[in-house]
Amino acid sequence: MARIALGVEYDGSHYHGWQTQQVGIRTVQTEVERALAKVANHPVSVSCAGRTDSGVHATGQVIHFDTDAERSERGWVYGANSALPADIAIRWAKPVSTEFHARFGAVARRYRYVIYNHTIRPGLYNRQLTWNYRPLDVERMRQALPALLGTHDFTSYRGIHCQAKSPVKTLHHLALFQRERLIVLEAEANAFLMHMVRNIAGVLMAIGTGKAEPAWAGEVLAARDRRLGGVTAPPYGLYLVGVRYDPVFELPDEPFGPQWLPGELSSWR
């Protein structure tokens, strides 16, 4: 049996998240496994780096599966894409050793949360970003970031249905970028709790509108009580944009995306 790693991009707007559910519920995993099974000519079960929620997107999801089918890297990519719906695409495929595991081998995961800040709601991309009609002060939001960096108990930023064994995570990187009406929150951690990025975004947007002071982000963190946190931001602006692994696996190093972001934001890494 050979192990194949793949990079997957998808628009999660029309799916009930990544993970396969009961029959009749449309998920990204179900579509990907169906397409790969056609190429492999046998049932395929995949493991992913991070299970995204309903409405959440990915430009850098990583998966792996085992197969006895012999196909070229190009064969896996083009064969699967020909069988996938238009809003899911395999970006690359690479044979890896059986020591590779998409989930347990991930060193870090990176997300981007894209906010459209304007008084008028957008007619386009309305499921690819989050609209906030109140003016956001990005400098105030940036002042809140240092309190969240490092290793902490993120219970206050954890979804109430989160099943993670521990709320302690290490946030390696947290930054805000602005280009005209677009604001991009970027976060990288060893792992994320359910709704963690969306809850951070909710707190930051409250600070940006002046509803709370920058110190509130740290106060919420210290409280270790989800009830004291902000509103969970919508899923539409959230993207899993990258997963880091041991360099020994030599996986492709692609731009984070999403590709439609303007200028340097679309390819910054």
Q: What is the pLDDT of residues 22-57, one digit of tens each?
A: 888 899 999 999 999 999 999 999 999 999 999 999
**pLDDT of 62 higher than 60:** yes
206 or 264, greater pLDDT: 206
Q: Is the dihedral of CA 109, 53, 144, 269 positive or negative?
A: positive
Packing angle of the helix pair 196-208, 216-223 (nearest 10 deg): 140
Whether 21 has a pLDDT exceeding 90, the answer reads no
Q: Are 32 and 255 in contact (CB under 8 A)?
A: no
User: What percent helix, strand, coil does the chain show, rounded to 5?
Assistant: 25, 30, 45
Q: Give the global pTM.
A: 0.95
pLDDT grade, residue 229 (50/70/90)? Answer: confident
Backbone angles phi, psi at 96, to 5 degrees: -135, 165
Residue 259: pLDDT band with limits 50, 70, 90: confident
- Region 195-223: mean pLDDT is 97
Instruction: Tell me: pLDDT of 265 over 80.
Output: no
First-to-last C-alpha distance (Å) of the chain: 34
The mean of the pLDDT values for the chain is 94
Q: Which residues carry out catalysis?
A: 53
- pLDDT at residue 185 above 60? yes
H-only helix segments in the chain: 28-40, 73-83, 138-143, 196-208, 216-223
Mean pLDDT across the stretch 173-192? 95
82-134 pLDDT, tens digit each:
999 999 999 999 999 999 999 999 999 999 999 999 999 999 999 999 999 99
High-pLDDT (> 70) share of the chain, % = 97
Cα distance between residue 50 and residue 57, in whole Å: 11
pLDDT at 217 over 80: yes
Amino acid 7: pLDDT = 98
> How would residue 266 be classed by pLDDT, with cut points 50, 70 and 90?
low
For residue 73, which amino acid is it? E
pLDDT number for residue 269:
55
What is the Cα 30 distance to its own chain's centre? Answer: 18
- The pLDDT > 90 percentage for the chain reads 87
Buried/exposed code over 166-205 (b: 16+ C-beta within 10 A; e: otherwise): ebebebbebebbbeeebbbbbbbbebbbbbbbbbbbbbbb
Q: Give me the pLDDT at residue 237, please.
A: 94
